[in-house]
Amino acid sequence: MADGLHTRYMRASDAWRTHRKGCEPCRSGQHCRDGAALHRLFADLQNDYLRHLRTR
């Protein structure tokens, strides 16, 4: 599970960073609709992955 979770977490991170580079509202902290969804997915997966590491 951890490998799959880590992979999804890293893909979400890459997607968020790529989007943010080209989106002025997201760069300034005012997430657009797409950016908000990408950021939420990234944050949720990050939390899940860190929780997994703490329970090892």
| Amino acid (one-letter) located at 55 | T
Secondary structure, 3-state, the chain: CHHHHHHHHHHHHHHHHHHHHCCHHHHCCCCCHHHHHHHHHHHHHHHHHHHHHHCC
Tokens linked to 49: 């992955």
Enumerate the domain spans of the chain: 2-54
Dihedral angle over CA of 4, 18, 50, 52, nearest 10: -10
Taking 80 as the threshold, does the pLDDT of residue 2 lie above it?
A: no
pTM for the complete prediction? 0.86
Q: What is the pLDDT of residues 4-42, one digit of tens each?
A: 999 999 999 999 999 999 999 999 999 999 999 999 999
